[in-house]
Amino acid sequence: MKDQSNLTHWTERADMAAAFRWTARLNMHEAVANHFSLAVNEDGSRFLINPAGRHFARITASSLIEIDAHDPATMDRPDAPDPTAWGLHGSLHRACPQARCAMHVHSIHATVLASLQDSRLPAIDQNTAMFHNRVVVDDHYGGMAFADEAARCVRLLADPKITTLIMGNHGVLVIGRTVAETFNRLYYFERAAETYIRALQTGRPLRHLPEDIAEKTAREWEAYPGFAQDHLREIKALLDAEGADYAT
């Protein structure tokens, strides 16, 4: 086990590890691929991220590495992150200080949506309305998220109102202020994408929410008291009841 005596941000590390574990539990992961990050200093340039080659189901609080988005020697470290994790999250934390936490996955329904000619997510129910006017679609996939491609993607998140990037032909990236908020958003985006995909499969006309109601519902989600925090707290309680070692 890694020596924990010099590790900081322990609560945040445990929250991150729980989010990794539950993402694996829900089969929203890609085994040792995909990545979550969390800024730990004021300007967001230092952040926690999962180590390269570690399965989501085995992430622990102490296994997360802390790196500096402005340090060009990061990839020379013996514990360097995955190159695409460094590309995407390093670019994000350099350019978007509002993105304190970021979670990128290739979950099934989000990726199906990202593979459609039209990858927009319409507001057709309460969950899809959570993302109304808060999503941007990248229609110009240019390969894996190494430095240049990652920087191009991140520029799409410049508007502070945008919380979700549908990465065309790739997957989804969600951002937020905390681990709880970001994971809750990731979870509900996958649920919303599934609802939309299943609705399309019926072949019947969709019932779209009016613009004013969709925007009102999105704002109500944003103001819903304690919802994301309760979600993560209960996930941790379930893991703790099973004796999971995520917080080690």
Q: How large is the average pLDDT for residues 17-36?
A: 97
Question: What is the percent of the chain with per-residue pLDDT over 70, rounded to a whole number?
Answer: 98
pLDDT in tens, 62-93: 999 999 999 989 999 999 999 999 999 999 99
Look over the chain and give the mean of its residue pLDDT values, rounded to a whole number: 95
Structure-token pair, residue 166: 């549908």
pLDDT confidence of residue 4: 58
Give the strands of the sheet with 164-167, arranged side by side: 65-68, 46-49, 35-39, 101-105, 171-176, 164-167, 135-138
Burial class (CB in 10 A: 0-12, 13-18, 19+), 223: exposed
Asked whether the predicted pLDDT for residue 3 surpasses 80, the reply is: no
Q: Is the pLDDT of residue 2 over 70?
A: no
Question: Would you say residue 1 has pLDDT above 50?
Answer: no
Which pLDDT tens digit goes with each residue over 179-221? 999 999 999 999 999 999 999 999 999 999 999 999 999 999 9
- As a 3-state breakdown, the chain gives helix, strand, coil percent values, each rounded to 5, of 45, 15, 40
pTM, rounded to two decimals: 0.95
Predicted local confidence at residue 147, as pLDDT: 83
10-241: CATH architecture = 3-Layer(aba) Sandwich (3.40)
Q: What is the mean pLDDT of residues 99-107?
A: 98
Kindly state the average pLDDT of the residues 3-17: 85
What pLDDT does residue 188 have?
98
Residue 7 pLDDT:
85
Residues 80, 50: Cα–Cα separation, whole Å: 10
